[in-house]
Every structure is written in structure tokens, then in C-alpha cells.
Amino acid sequence: MMEWKKSKTRFFRQLPLHLLILPSVICLLIFNYAPMTGLLMAFQDFKPRLGFLHSPWVGFEHFKYMFTYPDSRQVIFNTLLIASLKITANIIVPITFALLLNEIRAILFKRFVQTLVYLPHFLSWVILGGILTDILGNKGIVNHLLTLFGANTIFFLGDGTWFRITVVISDVWKEFGFSAIIYLAAMSGINMSLYEAAEIDGASRLKQTFHITLPSLVPVILVVGTLALGNILNAGFDQIFNLYNPLVYREGDIIDTFVYRVGLMDGSFSFATAVGLFKSVISFILIVTAYRLAHRFGNYRIF
Amino acid sequence: MYHKTIGYRWFTVTNTLLLTVISILCILPLVHVAAVSFSSSSAATANQVFFWPVGFTAEAYSRTLTNPLFLRSLVLSMERTLSGTLLSMALTVTAAYTLSRSFYGRGFYSWFFVFTMLFNGGLIPTYMLVTQLHLTNTLWVLILPSAVNVFNTILMMQFFRAIPKELEEAASIDGAGYLRSLITIYLPLSLPSLATLSLFSMVWHWNSWFDGLIYMTDYRKYPLATFLQTIIQGGDMRNTNIDPGQLQILSERTVRSAQILIGALPILLVYPFLQRFFVQGLTMGAVKE
């Protein structure tokens, strides 16, 4: 009896806290948790006419279809290929850039470089997609320059292989500066006496880079790398959606764009939900594993 | 000293050159589009424009800014950015304050918030729900589903936690409750972080286009980013039944470039402020010793 009374008074004392967080909780319940129940559609043959309650149940039919239907297999392959290329490039390029920038000692020049390379990160893929379709088109400036130098016109956004290359390079172009921030921050934290000691032992700057700077970055690289693995099924919806066209659907279509077209354009709600659920479940497992690994190896945690 | 050796001097020269080229490459595409937008229509179609306007004219801008469709979407984008940021910040502050206290139930709330970062219902179920709530074609659909930003809430919570507890204890002895100490102690002390998160929220709202595309069935209710997306991706235009004459004007190369520039302009304007803050925001919550 005493216990119950105690917890009751405690609850009333802390009631303002519960009330403060209530609006956010309601928002999350409606827009994040309620849609999760809609995932049951993946096991139905959902007909808008019949509604959620009366549509027939079909079990794992859509999932079987997903793995036998050539289009969806191609889409899963594209997603994995584009995402893994991006993850690799988005680790190597920023590190190289950060190493080079770290060697610059003129502060004003350093700021100038940083100001320019961080900029594309803040522009949306709608804007960048507009810019890229303009400069990479058949009559765009890039092909214009290529023909001036006697090269052939390249269909950057119309040829499957070139499309994949363009997607990876433009993503690196947009993000490398911003991704380099974390490495630059880690580099500024390296103990200077390590370099002084190496200097006395006669190590060249290149040797110092390979034996001091890079090893000091390993924990950060591990954390960034593992966390990126949680994104292996996110090949960049915004980017692909704003760059692709029917010519490159075969090589450029990824899970998210596929779900959008099949679900919202063609109206195959259940199949699209099944593909989406497949992606969510795999991503969930990967992200949780990645966080655990990052916590163990890099002492990273969000809370 | 390594930086006095001849080899390192050569390296510094090449490195400086290389970094200059890289940085310029990052904005050159934007410069080109800007040059096209200020060029005469004929020069743009004939591909004569590189990085400086040819036949300078601001006609593309006057045509864009007198277009009622464009103006309508510009206004809607501003409304959305302002109201969305206000709502989102109100929720962020209250939730972050609660999560920064130690009280019975904190663990549950934390997981309730974090789980939404790990798993979601996906596109189709969310779309179905929002349409069933009859939110389509209203301003609410652009600001409510994204109102709680868990990542921002966690950042804000960490800012609040860094504020010395003694301040609140002193206030509580003087009789201040939770709400009062949030308003009179925590908010004034975290103005810089509030400004940072608001700025990020504004950029996010300004750049968002996909929600407008799927939840607005009437193209006259598109926010600017969605409107630009449809103009640029000419393929989807048939669905939006914009008057073909209007479309002809809007999709002309110089006008399209002008629209891209206007769409990017607010971001370019707040960029200096963003740059000042984001390093701090990004490294926060990353690696802890």
C-alpha cells in the first residue's frame, strides 16, 4: 500500500515532464508507429476497394515473387552495387582530401577551400539534379568541352554503365567535403609530441603520415565504416530519382525508386510494401549490428 | 624540419594547386548555371555560355518572378519552412528537456524515440495512413509527419545536459517547477544551439520535395522544391496537367536555370551561418571518450 502511494505521488510530481513530452509521443505514434501496422499489407493482396480488413491474405506470396521476378532481383543487385561503390568511395576520397588539407598551413587558404567544398552538401538533389542534367546532357557544357577536345559525346545519364559511374561520382562530389570534417577533427586531436619525436628520429612527412596520422584515424574510420554498412540498402533515393529516366531503369533502378514506381504509380500496394518491408528488416538488423560493433570498437553511442 | 626540405616545398605547391582546382570544381557547375540564367536565350541554346553570361539579360528572372505558378509555390515554401520549423523546434525543445531529466519512465521514452530511427513502416503504409487522415493537399501534410526529428532531439538533449544542474536546483528551491525552469533557465542558456537546430530545420524544410510530390495531388499546391522537381524532370509533367504554353516558358533553358538559382538562393544566403555552426553540431554526439 505504501509503495503504491509512493509511486503515485512520484507520478504526480513528475506529471509536467510526461505532459511536456506527450505531443512528440503522439506525433510519433501517429506518423511512425501506426504505419508499422500497415506492413501487414505485405502479407495480403490489398485492394483499396475492399480495405485493410477484408483484403485476402496471401502469406509470403509477394516475397517469393520478389526473389523470382527478374526485375526485382536486378533492383536488389543495383542497390547493393551502387551503395557499396558509394560507401567505399565516400570513405577513401574524404580521407585523402583531409590528409591533403591537413598539410596546408595558410589558414586563410584552408578556410577558402573548406567554404567551397562544403557547399554542395547543403543543396538538395532537386537543385543538383537540375544542374547535373543541364551540364551532363547531350548538349551540356561537359559534352561540349569533350567534343572541343576531339572526344566522343558521352551519354552520362542515358547509358546504364555511365549512369552508375555518374551517380557514384556526383555523390562523392556532393559529400566528400562534408564527410572530411570528422577526419579533420580527429587529426587536430593528435598529440603533437608524436610528430616531434618522429621528426627527431628523422622520419619524413610521408612516413609521419603513414605511421602517425593514418593509424590515429583508424578508430574513426572503423566507426564511420561500420555505421555506413547499416546503409547498404540505401543507394540514395533523392539522387537517383532526380537523375534517372526510363533509358537507365535497368541499371539505375534501386529498391526505393522501385517501391515508389510499383506502389504509387502502378498501384501494386501489397507487392511494394513487401519489398519495402524486406528492406526495412534487413536495414534494421544491419543498423543494430553496426551500432553494437561501433560501440565495441570505437566507443560510439548515441545516448 | 620537414617543411624546409625541397621535396616538401614542391609538395606544398602541387598540393595548393590541386586543392584550388578541387574547390573550384565544387562550385563551377553552379557558376555555369548562373551564367546561363543571365544569358540571352539564343546564346544559351547555341551553347555559347561557359562561366560568364553571354548577351547579359535578366529577362529569365523577370519571366520567372512574374509567373503566378512559380510565385505561388515560392510563397507556399516560405509558409511551410516557417511553420514547420516553429512546430518542430517546439516539439524538439519540450521532448529534449524531458529526456534530459532523470525521472521514472525516461528509459521507455528514449527507446520509444530511438526505435523510430531504426525501423519504419516504409513508403506505402505511411502514404496510405496520411491519405486516410485526409491530410492531402493541406499545409499540415508538409509539417506534421516530420515534426518530431529524433536526431535533433538527441542533440538538444545533450546541450541541455551540459548545463550545470545546480542552476535548476537553485531555481527549484525558490519554487520553480519544470516548465518554469525550462523557460527561464534552459532556453536562455541554449540560444546558440536553438539557432543552429532551427537553421538546419529550415534548410531541411526548404529542400524537401518528395512529400509535396506524393501528398499534393493539385500541382498548384506544390512547394517550390517539388515544383522545381517537376519542371526539371519533364517526364512527370503529363501527370500535372500544367498548361502547355506555361510549360514551354518554364522549361526553357535560361528560365530553368534562373529557377534553379532562385531555389538555391536561400541556402546560399544562410550558408555562412550554417558553416559556422555545423562542425560543432556534427562532431557532437559522435565519438565520446
Selected residues 178-237 of chain B with any CB under 8 Å from a CB in chain A: 178-179, 182, 203, 207-210, 214, 225, 228-229, 232-233, 235
Q: Is B263 close to A109, i.e. CB distance below 8 A? A: no
Q: Is A273 close to B122, i.e. CB distance below 8 A? A: yes
**A201 interaction partners in chain B (CB closer than 8 Å):** none
Backbone angles phi, psi at A201, to 5 degrees: -75, 0
Q: Is A269 close to B128, i.e. CB distance below 8 A? A: yes
Q: B124 touching A, CB under 8 A?
A: yes
**B216 interaction partners in chain A (CB closer than 8 Å):** none
Range of the domain at A95: 71-298
pLDDT of residue B172: 86
pLDDT of residue B286: 44
Please, are residues A134 and B232 in contact by the beta-carbon 8 Å criterion? no
Rounded CA separation A179/A9 (Å): 49
Q: Is A117 close to B91, i.e. CB distance below 8 A? A: no
Q: Is B124 close to A31, i.e. CB distance below 8 A? A: no
Answer yes or no: is pLDDT of B214 > 80: yes
What is the number of residues in chain B? 289
Please, are residues B114 and A302 in contact by the beta-carbon 8 Å criterion? yes
Domain ranges of chain B: 2-45, 68-240
pLDDT of residue B247: 61
DSSP state of A265: I
pLDDT of residue A222: 87
Answer yes or no: is pLDDT of A97 > 90: yes
> Of A95, A96, A240, A113, which is closest to residue B25 (Cα–Cα)?
A113
pLDDT of residue A291: 84
Q: B10 touching A, CB under 8 A?
A: no
Q: B138 touching A, CB under 8 A?
A: no
Picking from A139, A181, A220, the nearest residue to B47 by CB comes out as A139
Q: Tell the residue number behind the cell numbers 526473389, with chain if given.
A: A67
Please, are residues B262 and B75 in contact by the beta-carbon 8 Å criterion? no
Digit-coded pLDDT (tens) for B150-204:
999 998 998 899 888 888 888 889 888 888 999 999 999 988 889 889 999 999 9
Q: Which of B19, B104, B124 to mutate to test the interface with A (most CBs of A within 10 A)?
A: B124
| Nearest-10 Cα torsion for B253, B259, B262, B267 | -100
The 3-state DSSP composition of chain A as helix, strand, coil percent (nearest 5) reads 80, 0, 20
- Judged by DSSP in three states, B82 sits in helix
pLDDT of residue A49: 82
Q: Where residue A277 sits, what CATH number does that domain have? A: 1.10.3720.10
Backbone angles phi, psi at B144, to 5 degrees: -75, -50
CATH of segment(s) B68-240: 1.10.3720.10
Locate all alpha helices (DSSP H) within B119-252, ordered by sequence.
123-132, 140-143, 150-161, 165-173, 178-181, 187-189, 191-207, 210-215, 224-232, 237-240, 244-250
Picking from A39, A259, A298, the nearest residue to B287 by CB comes out as A298
Please, are residues A301 and A295 in contact by the beta-carbon 8 Å criterion? yes
Rounded CA separation B150/B148 (Å): 6
Rounded CA separation A89/A95 (Å): 10
Please, are residues B257 and B251 in contact by the beta-carbon 8 Å criterion? no
In a domain? residue A50:
no
Rounded CA separation A143/A149 (Å): 10
Nearest chain A residue (CA) to B202: A122
Q: B37 touching A, CB under 8 A?
A: no
Q: Which of A7, A8, A24, A26 to mutate to test the interface with B (most CBs of B within 10 A)?
A: A24
> Of B13, B11, B14, B281, which is closest to residue B151 (Cα–Cα)?
B281
Give mean pLDDT, residues A12-26.
Answer: 92
Give mean pLDDT, residues B257-281.
Answer: 84
User: Where does the pLDDT of residue A301 fall: very low under 50, low under 70, confident under 90, or very high at 90 and above?
Assistant: low
Q: Which residues have C-beta within 8 Å of that of residue A174, sequence separation ≥ 6?
A: A120, A121, A123, A128
Q: Which residues have C-beta within 8 Å of that of residue B123, sequence separation ≥ 6?
A: A256, A259, A260, A263, A264, A272, A276
Number of domains observed in the structure of chain A: 1
pLDDT of residue A52: 80
What is the number of residues in chain A? 303
- Judged by DSSP in three states, B280 sits in helix
A 10 A CB-CB count for A301 gives 11
For residues A115-134, one letter each, b for 16 or more C-beta atoms within 10 angstroms of the residue's C-beta and e for the rest, the string is bbbbbbbbbbbbbbbbbbbb
Digit-coded pLDDT (tens) for B20-32:
999 999 999 999 9
C-beta pairs of B64-73 under 8 Å, 24+ apart in sequence: B64/B255, B64/B258, B64/B259, B64/B262, B65/B262, B67/B246, B67/B249, B67/B250, B69/B219, B69/B220, B69/B227, B69/B242, B69/B246, B69/B250, B70/B224, B70/B227, B70/B250, B70/B259, B72/B220, B73/B222, B73/B223, B73/B224, B73/B226, B73/B227
Please name every residue paired with A44 in a beta bridge, in sequence order, or none if there are none: A57
Mean of the per-residue pLDDT values of chain B: 87
